[in-house]
A and B are shown apart, each in its own frame.
Chain A
Amino acid sequence: MARRLFLERRTYRQNRLQDAARLLPVLGLVLVFAPVFIRGEAAQVEVGGPDLADWLVYYFSVWLGLIVLTAFVSRALTRSKGAETPPSQPGPEGG
């Protein structure tokens, strides 16, 4: 069965919504791991960098932001019933 090249607008939106849902953890990974590369080995209070309290605020902001985003995308997905018609993913033939 050949996949159609151009989809209806609604189906197209649903597919992009699913893309967003799949990409959310990538965004999360970037945001959660970014400080690993920014924050040094020790606390940088002496050189005037961000304090532990600031990082705490950063993490909880990121956390809340991710939760809100996920809630939004998930609601949109269930409302459009996108969860019912995922694009088939033909995996590499194993056998």
Chain B
Amino acid sequence: MLSFNGLVAVCVLYVVFLFGIAFLAEKRAAEGRARWLNSPITYTLSLSIYTTAWTFYGAVGSAVRNGLEFLTIYLGPTLIFIGWFWLLRKMVRIGRAQRITSIADMISSRYGKSGGVAALVTLLAVIGATPYIALQLQSVTLSFSVFVRPGALGAPDTEQTAIWVAAGLALFTIIFGTRSLDVNERHPGLVSAIALEAIVKLAAILAVGIFVVWGVADGPANMLARIEASPVSQTGWNGARWLGLTVLAGAAILCLPRMFQVLVVENSDERHLATAGWAFPLYLMLISVFVVPIAVVGLEMFGSDANPDLFVLTVPLGMGQDGLALLVFLGGFSAATSMVIVAALALSTMLANHIIVPFWLRLTRHDDPMSGDMRRVALMARRLSITGVMFLGYGYYRLSGGADALADIGLIAFLGVAQILPALLGGILWRGATRVGAALGIGAGFLIWAWLLLIPNVAETGGVMPQMLIDGPFGLVWLSPVTPLGLQATDPLLTAMVLSLGVNTFLFIFGSLVSFPSPLERLQGAQFVNVYDHSQPLYGWQGASGAADDLLIMAQRILGTSRAGRLFQTAAEAQGRISGVPEPTPDFLERLERELAGSVGAATAHAMVAQIVGGASVSVRDLLAVADETAQIMEYSTQLEAKSEELAQTAARLQEVNAKLTALSLQKDAFLSQISHELRTPMTSIRSFSEILMQPDGIDAAARTRFSRIIHDETVRLTRLLDDLLDLSVLENGRVTLHEAEARLSDVLDRAIHAAGAQADGRLIIRRDPDAEAVTLWTDPDRLAQVFINLISNAQKYCDAPAPELTISVRQMPGRLQVEFADNGSGIPKRQQALIFEKFARADTAKGAPGAGLGLAISREIMARLGGGLSYVPSEQGTRFRVRLPGRTRRAA
């Protein structure tokens, strides 16, 4: 007989071995070399977490009490699995196509990503699973105690055992369940460990069975005879229970979160279902084939007083088969631990994704669920959830104090999660199913189940049965869980099952029929029900050199050949490969996703990578995220477009200015040559006449006077030219002093016409409007006259009409006065209109005439100083200048 310490040592060794296997599997998977991980056998073995310690030990007890009834727990799943082609295949395909992470995610995805429904399912699952985890802890501690002191139930320190087991399981789950947020949500280390545990389980129960049939009894025939003689044969038979439990077990295997995790989420190849379809029922059959023989032999050995739930362990112990008993102990340990690990993983995924992270998002108003920051939050939420679930299970175990009532919790938990079944089946088979129906059905079923079964069981486990539960709340007897609706239920489980599932299904269908689904819900409904039309089957993922090639092609398209090549080369070298493409490990995929996200946005990158690696179709959620991103990019590009248009406009303006500058520069050159010519002509005559005057003889007085006059005239011309230049310079620098005074416009015009010598000349006819000119102005009359003179003399000089005319019109405008000078010449060519006000500018038509091209520039400066303006008015014919005067004018009294 092993000592307690010895047993602990064996356990620790076994756990270390499991850790080793898990680590190895993770390493091999990361290198892409774990073929056995991707085999249908591993898949089938991982499904065996269905057989928990409850069935491992409890089936024999059930056989002693209820005969063949324990078979229903295995026959239900068998019926589901032999029909894999019909239902399971569809679930797995949907799970892959929609990247489902849990049963709650499945339901919420189908019903329009409803967060409320997901939270409801999560709540249901956690409430259902907590006592179940407690049950596993109980079975481990119980087996511990039995092993150490056969026959007795009190072990040295069961509490300590339970807490160590719970902590160890939490650690294992955290290490192998939350290493990273894999694109595929798969956990190779964990799956390989539970596959190994499945083998230990099966080997243990088969070994005991073989020992019993061929060691204790004398072969199968003798065994059958012993069964006929045994009290087991006298047990009753309840057809309704047989039916009900089979259906319940069938529903449970579809709805249990842990089963969904291994069945759908961890599935890596749809073809594995074809194997699991017969191999899993075979596993269940092998697990249960020796149950009755063990029960019979146990009854023979210990009588009906002993605890039949532990016959699997006590029979080999009683026969002195310590090695065999140790194997059984490890089998039971495996059954309990593998269930708890996967349940904790599945529940933590649901808790994190549907309760903690949404809550955190709402709290922090985080807007990018794809960022690395968010991933850390999700991982941390999962780790916390695992610890929380374990703690809940352990707490419930402590509260129950190992009560017998805990044993009933297995079927109660089954019925709890079975409330998901109508919404699940309806969701994948009926497009008309809606969120309202699902929420109503699950909610009502959940309440009925909790009231009729869970609460009484918890109360019983806790050792207190409040009167309210017996008499019904508020004295309403028909509400009492003991006699619901006044039914004298002989079997509370079956009654609760009919009531909860019945109401659930009715409300689900009724709610779906009368409500109207949202567009997203309808879309998802079509995607789920017609999943085969929208998706490709997934055939394996780890021998994924094909996927890596596809990734490279995609990356090249997006990043460009050289950059993608460099990225893949670096990754391949980091993985220790000299050449070729790297394995698509999670690390590499994450990096690739980040790189791609820089070009196409995070959501798009994620959808693209997932589609290639995970074989998932692009979900509506992805599309929405992609649409958001695209909208952002489009807005950005619109902004860019606007900017570039602005730039183009600026460039055009610059070009215009440049052209003007070039023209000006040319004009300037022309002016310089002109001014040199202008200066040179008088200079030449001044010089030559001075030279003549310098000669001492031969010049008479008349000639001398004539020559002196010429010299004088030329000097005056020069002075005027220089005055103009000085005048302009003074005006431009703003240092001019204005002598403002009252003046009549008509006087100013008279003076200007006179000064220009227009009337004396007689060539130019000037038309005026004396009435309009009778305006009194507040201005600098001299300067204004200077402007008018300039305009009139321009007309004199440049008007090329045979009979030149100048019309001076005055118009009174609100707040200002407008004086227009229009001649009947050919006007100024369009391309020179912009230049005429520039210094030194001279229009082509003015080429032949004298002048330095300063007049208009000076005039414009003067008008600006006077608070008005001078502009050229383009017109059909003739040159038209407009002088604007400020409104400080008064009509003459």
In this complex, the member of B79, B89, B234, B532 whose beta carbon has the largest number of chain A beta carbons within 10 angstroms is: B79
Chain B positions within 8 Å of A39 at CB level: 237, 239
Number of A-B contacts (CB under 8 A): 145
CB distance from A21 to the nearest CB of B (A): 4
Q: Which B residues touch A69, using CB under 8 A? A: 82
Shortest C-beta distance, A76 to chain B (Å), equals 10
With contact pairs A25-B79, A95-B525 given, residues A75 and B274 touching in the complex (Cβ less than 8 Å): yes
Q: Are B79 and A29 in contact (CB under 8 A)?
A: yes
**B278 x A51 contact (CB < 8 A):** no
Interface magnitude class on chain B: 35 or more
Q: How far is the CB of A71 from chain B (nearest CB, A)?
A: 4
Among listed B205-213, B225-233, B631-639, interface-contacting one: B225-233
- Which residues of B line the A interface, CB within 8 A? 67-68, 71, 75, 78-86, 89, 224, 227-228, 232-239, 242-243, 246, 270-271, 274-275, 277-279, 281-282, 285, 289, 292, 429-433, 517, 522, 525-526, 529-530, 532-533, 537
Query: Quick check: B85 and A18 within 8 Å, CB to CB?
Result: yes
Interface residue tally on A, bucketed by range: 35 or more
Cβ distance B300 to chain A, nearest Cβ, rounded Å: 15
Note all chain B residues with C-beta closer than 8 A to A94.
Answer: 430-433, 517, 522, 525-526, 529
**Cα of A11 to Cα of B569 in the assembled complex, Å:** 45
**If A52-B227, A95-B525 touch, does A70 touch B530 (CB 8 Å cutoff)?**
no
Report the separation of the CA atoms of residues A7 and B530 in the bound assembly, to the nearest whole angstrom: 22
> Which residues of the partner chain B approach A52 to less than 8 Å between Cβ atoms?
67-68, 227-228, 232-233, 235
Q: Known interface pairs A32-B246, A36-B243. Does A56 touch B227 (Cβ–Cβ under 8 Å)?
A: yes
A83 near B271 with CB under 8 A, answer yes
Using A25-B86, A43-B235, A56-B68 as known contacts, say yes or no to A89 and B281 having CB atoms under 8 A apart: no
Are B236 and A74 in contact (CB-based, < 8 A)? no
- Pairwise interchain contact A21-B86, C-beta atoms closer than 8 A: yes
B242 / chain A contacts, CB cutoff of 8 Å: 33, 35-36
With a CB–CB cut-off of 8 A, which chain B residues contact A29?
A: 79
Which residues of chain B are within 8 angstroms of A95 by Cβ–Cβ distance?
Answer: 431, 517, 522, 525-526
Offer 18 A-B interface pairs, CB within 8 angstroms, sorted by A.
A21-B86, A24-B82, A25-B82, A25-B83, A28-B78, A29-B79, A32-B75, A41-B239, A42-B236, A52-B232, A60-B285, A67-B282, A70-B281, A74-B277, A77-B85, A88-B530, A94-B522, A95-B431
Which of A46-81 touch B at CB < 8 Å?
51-53, 55-57, 59-60, 63-64, 66-71, 74-75, 77-78
A63 CB, nearest partner CB in chain B, Å: 5
Q: Which 4 A-B pairs have the closest CB atoms?
A: A94-B431, A25-B83, A95-B522, A21-B85
**CA gap between A67 and B522 in the complex, in Å:** 38
Give the complex CA separation of A91 and B90 in angstroms. Answer: 14
Q: Residue on B with the closest CB to A51?
A: B228
Q: How far is B431's CA from A60's CA once the two chains are assembled, in angstroms?
A: 39
Q: For residue B190, give the distance in angstroms from its CB to the closest CB of chain A.
A: 27
- Chain B residue nearest to A86 (CB atoms) is B532
Contact of B83 among A24, A37, A41 (CB under 8 A): A24
Whether the Cβ atoms of B78 and A43 lie closer than 8 Å is no
Q: A52-B232, A70-B81, A91-B530 are in contact. List 17 more A-B contacts (CB 8 A).
A: A21-B84, A25-B86, A28-B82, A33-B243, A43-B233, A43-B236, A52-B67, A52-B68, A52-B228, A53-B224, A66-B82, A70-B281, A74-B274, A77-B85, A77-B274, A91-B431, A92-B432
Is A3 located at the chain interface by the 8 A CB criterion? Answer: no
Indicate if A8 sits at the interface (CB-CB under 8 A).
no
Q: Is the CB of A63 within 8 A of B431?
A: no
Query: Chain B nearest CB: distance from A80 CB in Å?
Result: 11
With a CB–CB cut-off of 8 A, which chain A residues contact B86?
21-22, 25
Q: How far is the CB of B306 from chain A (nearest CB, A)?
A: 21
- Bound Cα distance A29, B80 (Å): 10
Q: Which of B224, B274, B431, B529 has the most CB of A within 10 A?
A: B274
Q: How far is the CB of B191 from chain A (nearest CB, A)?
A: 22
In the complex, residue of chain B having the shortest beta-carbon distance to the beta carbon of A64: B285
Given the known inter-chain contacts A28-B78, A36-B242, please indicate yes or no for A67 contacting B278, CB distance below 8 A.
yes
Q: What DSSP secondary structure best describes chain B's contact surface? A: helix
Residues of A within 8 Å of B81, CB to CB, are: 70
Give the chain B neighbours of A43 by CB distance below 8 A. Answer: 233-237
By the criterion CB–CB under 8 Å, are A53 and B525 in contact? no
Binding site for B on A (CB under 8 A): 18, 21-22, 24-25, 28-29, 32-33, 35-37, 39-43, 45, 51-53, 55-57, 59-60, 63-64, 66-71, 74-75, 77-78, 83-84, 86, 88-95
A92 to B432, CA, bound (A): 8
Known: A36-B242, A88-B532. A51 touches B274 (CB 8 A): no
Most chain-B Cβ atoms within 10 A of its Cβ — which of A18, A36, A40? A36
Q: A28-B78, A29-B79, A83-B270 are in contact. Are A36 and B239 (CB under 8 A)?
A: yes
Which single member of A60, A89, A92 contacts B289 (CB below 8 Å)? A60
Chain A residues whose CB sits within 8 angstroms of the CB of B89 once the complex forms: 83
Of B246, B431, B522, the residue contacting A33 (CB under 8 A) is B246
Contacts of A92 in B (CB 8 A): 430-432
Candidates A32, A45, A84; contact of B79 at CB < 8 Å: A32
Instruction: Tell me the bound Cα distance from A29 to B242 in angstroms.
Output: 12
A68 and B82 CA atoms in complex are apart in Å by 10
Asked if A63 and B517 sit within 8 Å, CB to CB, the answer is no
Known: A42-B236, A52-B235, A56-B227. A63 touches B532 (CB 8 A): no
B236 touches A63 (CB 8 A): no
Tell me how far the C-beta of B369 lies from the nearest C-beta in chain A, rounded to whole angstroms. Answer: 28
What residues on A are CB-neighbors of B429 within 8 Å? 91
Q: Report B336 CB to chain A, min CB distance, Å.
A: 26
CB distance from A38 to the nearest CB of B (A): 9
Q: Whole-angstrom distance between the alpha carbons of A16 and B24 in the complex?
A: 44
Given A51-B228, A88-B530 in contact, is the A45-B233 Cβ separation under 8 Å? yes
A18 to B83, CA, bound (A): 10
- Residue on A with the closest CB to B76? A32
Residues in B whose Cβ lies below 8 Å from that of A89: 529-530, 532
Measured in the bound complex, the distance between the Cα atoms of B432 and A25 in whole Å is 25
Q: How far is the CB of A69 from chain B (nearest CB, A)?
A: 8
- Give complex CA distance A35, B285 in Å: 19
- With a cutoff of 8 Å between Cβ atoms, the chain B residues found around residue A75 in the complex are 274
Known: A18-B85, A52-B232. A70 touches B246 (CB 8 A): no
Specify which chain B residues have a CB less than 8 angstroms from the CB of A55 in the assembled complex: 68
Quick check: A83 and B75 within 8 Å, CB to CB? Answer: no
B18 to chain A minimum Cβ distance, whole angstroms, is 29
Q: Which residue of B lies closest to A45 (CB)?
A: B233
CB distance from B201 to the nearest CB of A (A): 19
